[in-house]
Amino acid sequence: MSTQSTDLPQATANTQMSFIVRKLRDRLLGMLGDIDECQLRINDAAGMMILGRCDAHAVEPLTARVDILDPSFYLRVATQGSIGAGEAYMDGLWRSDDLVALMRMLVRHRDRLDTLDSGSARVAGTLLKLWHALRRNSRQGSRRNIAAHYDLGNALFELFLSGDMMYSSAIYAYEGEALEDASWRKLDRVCRKLELSPTDHVLEIGTGWGGFAIHAARHYGCHVTTTTISREQYDLARARVADAGLSQHVEVVLQDYRDLDGHYDKLVSIEMVEAIGHQYLDRFFARIAELLKPHGAALLQAITIEDARYRKALREVDFIKRHIFPGSFIPCVSALSGALARSSDLRLVNLEDIGTSYAMTLQAWRQRFLARLPEVRALGYDERFIRMWEFYLAYCEAGFRERALGDVQMLLHRPRARTSPWLPAVDVSCAR
């Protein structure tokens, strides 16, 4: 979002900033002082500071302006680190003319965030780690964690998602493509990778609002059993299936994946593994293998973090874990493949990273969300929630644009699977 910034009155510099706050300000600006291929302008009661540089050789230079609207921002950052910076945005203590560009700068120089979260900020971090540990994804914990996000209200998600209500990365053929077409392409690519047919019984772990189940049943004629533990999603998914005239082909169940039974030809799980928790990965893949027939195949789509940063990320609580997805984690590819090998006879036959498309998906969601703020407010969400949601979407988009995050589709086979070795290409056209 671009916000029109205005200069703060210079005359208030001495009265608005205490000695301690000025010292905290100097410390923060010192951390950011020599960022390269970026230029950050910080405007506060003490004046304008220009940090970094964008020279002619910069591959993708970034510029952004930050207006500090309340000097208590510096105290928040000093005592609560990067989460404090996010909460200060929620509370209206600062604004930026390009929130995504600012986040990208911080991702590029993310080692500085480690410094930001040191010192007194570690005290708050320790308490947050304890809070996160108490939100383990046991059966009861999973229901509580899922409800905290997905039961915010279906009407909110309907304002910014595509018509198929897919809350996961689309697959774009080109920059600027319509979200509806890119989302359709993703769904169809999943179906074609699994070579779905009318004789298949497909299990989906993580219904969302029924987008995949409806697509698979409508276009491939298969029977789909899809499960969720969100009551809001369950109710709307069932209604959408009925409205599509597919109740004979799609069964929506309100059940934890650990309690499912039966055996299926194909299995799909789209960006649900992030809600499982690191300690449950082995059990998750073991359960997938148990639920698949010997000739079965599965398609897992998962957000991923760099392998080198995975262990550190497991120990940390960031803005997303604190305010958006409690109890969540982001796996790395080696953690997924390791759990797969330890706990099942599943074989990884293809891996595709669609992370660049996720940046475009998040951009579309953010633009659609901001374009419909009157309706968001009419649903009862206040300005603090709106700023939190904007920060969340920009934060994630920046991570994908800087390749700090990926999004992989993993095609998995049981030992007797005999499907085509040729995978479908990404079609530029989107024939529906």
Pairwise pLDDT comparison (25 vs 54), residue with the higher score: 25
pLDDT band (50, 70, 90) for residue 147: low
Residues with Cβ < 8 Å from 404, sequence gap 6 or more? 107, 110, 305, 306, 309
139-413 has CATH 3.40.50.150 classification: yes
Question: Where in the chain are the domains?
Answer: 10-131, 139-413
Q: Residue 123 has what pLDDT?
A: 41
Most confident among 51-60, 151-160, 342-351, 418-427 (mean pLDDT): 342-351
Mean pLDDT over 327-355 rounds to: 95
User: How many Cα atoms within 13 Å fall on the side-chain side of residue 303?
Assistant: 22
Given a cut of 80, whether residue 13 has pLDDT beyond it is no
* Catalytic site residue from 191, 332, 396, 430: 396
DSSP assignment of 321-367 equals: IIIISTT-----HHHHHHHHHHH---EEEEEEE-HHHHHHHHHHHHH
Mean pLDDT over 268-277 rounds to: 93
Q: Are strands 201-205 and 223-228 parallel, antiparallel or unpaired?
A: parallel
Mean pLDDT over 3-32 rounds to: 64
| 382-417 pLDDT per residue, tens | 999 999 999 999 999 999 999 999 999 999 999 999
pLDDT band (50, 70, 90) for residue 324: confident
10-131 has CATH 3.30.160 classification: no
Distance CA(157)–CA(167), nearest Å, equals: 8
For residues 293-304, b (16+ Cβ closer than 10 Å) or e, as one string? beebbbbbbbbb
What three-state secondary structure class fits 3? coil
Given a cut of 80, whether residue 156 has pLDDT beyond it is yes
| 287-307 pLDDT per residue, tens | 999 999 999 999 999 999 999
Pairwise pLDDT comparison (32 vs 279), residue with the higher score: 279
Is 332 among the residues known to form the active site?
A: no
Q: Residue 374 has what pLDDT?
A: 98
Q: Residue 372 has what pLDDT?
A: 98
Q: Residue 163 has what pLDDT?
A: 97
pLDDT band (50, 70, 90) for residue 10: very low
Given a cut of 90, whether residue 346 has pLDDT beyond it is yes
The gap from C-alpha 402 to its chain's centroid, in whole angstroms, comes to: 14
| 169-220 pLDDT per residue, tens | 999 999 999 999 999 999 999 999 999 999 999 999 999 999 999 999 999 9
pLDDT band (50, 70, 90) for residue 377: very high
Q: Residue 102 has what pLDDT?
A: 95
Residue 360 gets the label, from left (phi > 0), alpha (psi -120 to 50) or beta, of alpha
Given a cut of 80, whether residue 154 has pLDDT beyond it is yes
| 41-55 pLDDT per residue, tens | 999 998 999 998 877
The predicted model scores a pTM of: 0.88
